[in-house]
Amino acid sequence: MTRHATEPAPQLLSGAHAPLALGVVALVTLGAFENRAVSTALPSIVHDLDAITGYGVVTAAPLASYLVSLAAAGWWADRSGPAPVLRAGMLAFLVGMTVTATAATLPLLVAGRLLGGLAEGLLDVGVMVLVARALDPRLRPRVMALFAAAWVLPSVLGPAVTGAVTEAVGWRWVFAAGPVVLVPVWLALRPAIAASDARDASETPSPARRPLHLVLPWALVAATALVTLSVVAERRVAGQVSPVLVLAAALVALALAARRLLPEGALRAACGIGGVVALRGLLSAAFMGVGAFLPLVLTVLRHHGPLTAGISLSITGVTWSAGSAVQSRLDGRPMLLLRLGFGLLTVGLATTSLIVWADAPTALGLSGWAVAGLGIGLTSSTLSVLTMGASADADQGHHNAGGQMAASMASAVFLAVAGGVIAWFGAPSREAFGVISGLAVSVGVLAMVVTGRARCAVDVMTRRA
């Protein structure tokens, strides 16, 4: 019998754990609102600054700095604990939002977005490592459910609120509100961060897997490759032919960087943490493969208005949260959750892809999209819990950052391939979207096959409980 089996179940939102839980959830909610706000306000921003031609640069900047930040944050958190990583992330968030809110030129706007990506990477890793180290393992599934729920309100209300503020008083006030909200979040997290400082100070620091001077260059290579893939995809969607050699070089560079940045065994989905990280990449590629193009399918092929396209984004926010809530109730059966989740994801994506064909009702496709959201809620949260549970304290940063990097890399590769498919057909046609959705479903099927590779991580988590 394990130690936890003989102890009463702890409460997440009461007692000693409440400040940490409320603080990290508030931080995730703030990040979600910032994400939705940028997406909504960016067209108005570049128009106001007379920088329409710089739209792609502004979009790509946080993608590049996010990946570099993940690599550095994982190394830093394993070496010094989550406290300094979180402090740096909050400072970068504060400065980034301030620079963006006051930007008068395109270079300043790009600088603000670079800081935004840097902050996101630091905070993503810092929060996960803090949760892993500070919370009872039995509370981790519940925190993941709260993280998913924290995205619902921003997903539903974020674009509308941002649009209303932009029209009423201007886009700068959207970003000016972020630093104000950050203050109470910081105050709520201070006790947990202070406790983490004390704990880390009493432990013998573990040496990093690789020196930082070897990590950062490969992170820069990966970031450059991701930005290149994104540009290739955008240009192909626009109908311009991109050099095949550029795409091939970016893919080779990304593969080489991934081999050095991701946890061991991730590229071959080895049984254990490597398999968990690989599953996170496959999950992101499959989901983004349909989700990135669904609004376009609804408007271009099915001739629906922006309202229907917007509903498609809200649907998954709600069902994703529901799936994560179910995960928190069945956290003792991770393999069942993964198999069920990837099964629902794949069936949901296949059903959603039916709206590409004229005789399939839109309601049927959106129902499938809701099922896919339920599946990703089950799987994403379970993979996060597995990563924390199967990792030693000294590996939490590297493994959690690796999962995030795998998701970013896999989705970027898939979207670049999707851009190539659209270029092959010459336009965003029914046939092109049919091939893209078919590829996404195939990735989902592959994930179902690979799911068994997480079994070793489950065994390690069980022994560590």
Q: What is the pLDDT of residues 40-61, one digit of tens each?
A: 777 778 888 887 777 777 888 8
Give domain status of residue 241, yes or no.
no
Per-residue pLDDT for 102 more than 50?
A: yes
pLDDT at 196 (0 to 100): 66
Number of H helices, E strands in the chain: 17, 0
Within a domain: residue 346? Answer: yes
Q: What is the model's pTM? A: 0.88
Structure-token match 């008068």, residue found: 104
Q: Residue 145: how many CA atoms within 13 Å on its side-chain side?
A: 17
Of 198, 216, 242, the position where a domain reaches its end is: 198
Do 156 and 29 share a domain, yes or no? yes
- The verdict on residue 111 lying in a domain is yes
Assess whether 292 and 436 both reside in one domain. Answer: yes
Residue 296's CATH number: 1.20.1250.20
Distance (Å, whole) CA 34 – CA 26: 12
Place of tokens 């968990």: 276
What type of residue is 175?
Answer: F
Percent of the chain scoring above 90 in pLDDT: 44
CB distance 457 to 272 below 8 Å: yes
Confidence at residue 202, expressed as pLDDT on a 0 to 100 scale: 47
Q: How far is CA 368 from CA 7, 179, 213, 345, in A?
A: 41, 38, 46, 9
Would you state the pLDDT for residue 69?
Answer: 96
Q: Is a pLDDT exceeding 50 seen at residue 226? A: yes
Same-domain pairing of 179 and 272? no
Total structural domains in the chain?
2
159 and 302 share one domain:
no
Note the pLDDT tens digit of each residue in 335-379. Answer: 999 999 999 999 999 999 998 876 788 899 999 999 999 999 999
Tokens at residue 397, please?
């940063």
Instruction: Give me the mean pLDDT over the 428-449 stretch.
Output: 92
pLDDT confidence of 208, banded at 50, 70, 90?
very low
Q: Where are the alpha helices (DSSP H) in 135-242?
A: 140-150, 152-168, 172-202, 212-237
Residue 409 placed within a domain = yes
Same domain, yes or no: 158 and 272:
no
Q: Which of 178, 198, 218 is the last residue of a domain?
A: 198
**Domain membership flag for residue 404:** yes
In a domain, 218, yes or no: no
- CA–CA separation, 162 and 171 (whole Å): 8
What is the band of 193 on the pLDDT scale with cuts at 50, 70, 90? Answer: confident
Q: Within a domain: residue 236?
A: no
Kindly report the number of other CB atoms within 10 A of residue 457's CB atom: 26
Range of the domain at 463: 265-465
Euclidean distance between CA atoms 329 and 333, whole angstroms: 10
Both 177 and 294 in one domain: the answer is no
Q: Are 430 and 286 members of one domain?
A: yes
Average pLDDT of the chain? 85
Last residue of a domain, one of 168, 198, 228: 198
CB 247 within 8 A of CB 229: yes
